Structure 1
């Protein structure tokens, strides 16, 4: 069916027409530019609410156009090296953690094979699109012959799209908050590999949303018990009373890709927790 034409002139038509007007002092003035085509205007402080809305809408609309209904989230460190590059690692700990690159890659491969059974619409791998664990996730999806999503963000260093993100599903963000929304809006599982501040932020954001009932419960799988128990003492939080003992059930530890896939496949959905004031 042909696309229905709107009786009014559309924005692209007027944008193109505005480029061929006579060159005068009036048409060269910033005030004359079409508001939606005026980059300087769009970047003004007062336009922040509009930019927030655009960052929410653009990936949402494009993922809808590709028919993607659910995702499997991979969080993890940008500095985790490929196993063959451990000699370049900054610390021995990073070198020792390199095997999680292979686990993330294999996990993404296995999940993508299952996703392809749905036509690649369900349980699509999504990462931050950068190096390290993120690269491994997108690479594993490519190994399986499927597509994957990359949610990149503008940073001074470390964060450029890796070569394995599906190009038409590679997005770039300015606002961390909107980026995190897109990680979780379609999430059917959250897999967290060793990482730094960004990984911790993403983990605790996810746990808080589930704990407070603002998000449906999904499997939250922490790869590498030894790492996490060395870095974070969840039991101490429960002993102190700052979280409940039942909050320790919001996540599970896993070591290998196949184990994580099995836990996701056998997951029984439970209702979201009641949203109670003062939780967390």
Structure 2
């Protein structure tokens, strides 16, 4: 009779066990050489320029596996500045400003600080979306993991006791995840390109708040993916019409012929969390994020 346990059991030792054994250096010149290290334990080897394609693959694969294991089927992505303070902090900055330039900048940031609370409110709504029949989660809040608007998004999910994702990036200056990111869903990236890919892979809605170069980069890449048909359309919620129309003349792009008039319809202008969620609900006809157009 076939022994089922014997048939099913693993025949090779796990790599983790092999790695532990490999660290038991016997102290000879051969075993102390860098060449003797297991390839996947040799950081100097893994960080060689030649290994960049492997690092790309690993940086794509690690979050993908962990998000799958967390049963996260779709996300609600939040983009926005790392410099817009919460309302209370914004007023403090105005009070501390000394030069005319600092006063003007501080006041403009204070005007935009309302979006901290709108991002937080929208995240609370999205994070409360129920799991589906298979136990998978949808509209899971996903931010860049940093301060300001990103912090507000993760904080909103935390307000309703739900987990949220932070996709942090290593930078020359100090960059740490905000305290509201779920530790098990806090990821660190070296490559901006792979980070942006993870922003879009599970995205079923996108909220874009006022921001700088990074926000522009992420926002316009996603618009390009939708415009060119590389990505199916999702709700793109643009908060802050006064800000955006001041820094980007979308109508002029159409009038100049470099985008089509229909491309302007890819954007939904909103000012509040409730408006934004209404757009998302209409887009998916009150169904789940897997039931859209």
Task: State the TM-score bracket (shorter-chain normalisation).
Answer: over 0.9
| Farther-moved stretch of structure 1 (96-105 vs 80-89) | 80-89
- 1:10 Cα offset (Å): 2.3
- Given that residues 131 and 158 in structure 1 are in contact (C-alpha distance below 8 angstroms), is that contact kept between their aligned partners in structure 2? no
Tell me the residue number matched to 2:226: 210
- 1:120 Cα offset (Å): 6.8
Aligned with residue 48 of structure 1, among 52, 59, 62: 52
- Given that residues 131 and 159 in structure 1 are in contact (C-alpha distance below 8 angstroms), is that contact kept between their aligned partners in structure 2? no
- 1:93 Cα offset (Å): 1.1
Q: Residues 173 and 165 (structure 1 numbering): CA distance in 2 closer, same or farther, change over 3 Å?
A: same
Q: Normalising by structure 1, report the TM-score.
A: 0.92
Q: Distance in 2 between matches of 1:5 and 1:200?
A: 52
- 1:182 Cα offset (Å): 0.4
- Given that residues 78 and 158 in structure 1 are in contact (C-alpha distance below 8 angstroms), is that contact kept between their aligned partners in structure 2? no
Tell me the residue number matched to 2:62: 58
Q: Specify the SS of the correspondent of 2:26.
A: coil
Tell me the residue number matched to 1:161: 177
- Given that residues 190 and 219 in structure 1 are in contact (C-alpha distance below 8 angstroms), is that contact kept between their aligned partners in structure 2? yes
Q: Distance in 2 between matches of 1:122 and 1:97?
A: 29
- Given that residues 115 and 123 in structure 1 are in contact (C-alpha distance below 8 angstroms), is that contact kept between their aligned partners in structure 2? no
Tell me the residue number matched to 1:97: 112
Q: What stretches of structure 1 of length at least 5 have no aligned partner?
A: 271-280
The alignment status of 1:188 with 2:197, answered yes or no, reads: no
Q: Distance in 2 between matches of 1:115 and 1:129?
A: 23
Tell me the residue number matched to 1:276: none
- Given that residues 73 and 136 in structure 2 are in contact (C-alpha distance below 8 angstroms), is that contact kept between their aligned partners in structure 1? no
Q: Distance in 1 between matches of 2:32 and 2:129?
A: 55
Q: Specify the SS of the correspondent of 1:88.
A: helix
Q: Residues 110 and 120 (structure 1 numbering): CA distance in 2 closer, same or farther, change over 3 Å?
A: farther
Matches within 5 A, 1:87-236: 87-88=92-93, 91=105, 92-115=107-130, 121-157=137-173, 159-236=175-252
- 1:114 Cα offset (Å): 2.0
Q: Specify the SS of the correspondent of 1:191.
A: strand
Q: Distance in 2 between matches of 1:220 and 1:19?
A: 50
Q: Distance in 2 between matches of 1:225 and 1:237?
A: 16
- Give the CA RMSD over aligned residues: 1.9
Q: Specify the SS of the correspondent of 2:129.
A: helix
Q: Specify the SS of the correspondent of 2:283.
A: coil
Q: Residues 104 and 117 (structure 1 numbering): CA distance in 2 closer, same or farther, change over 3 Å?
A: farther
Q: Residues 140 and 68 (structure 1 numbering): CA distance in 2 closer, same or farther, change over 3 Å?
A: same
Q: Whose radius of gyration is greater, 1 or 2?
A: 2
Extract structure 1 runs of 4+ deviating beyond 3 A.
Answer: 115-120
Q: What stretches of structure 2 of length at least 5 have no aligned partner?
A: 95-101, 285-291
Aligned with residue 240 of structure 1, among 250, 256, 269: 256
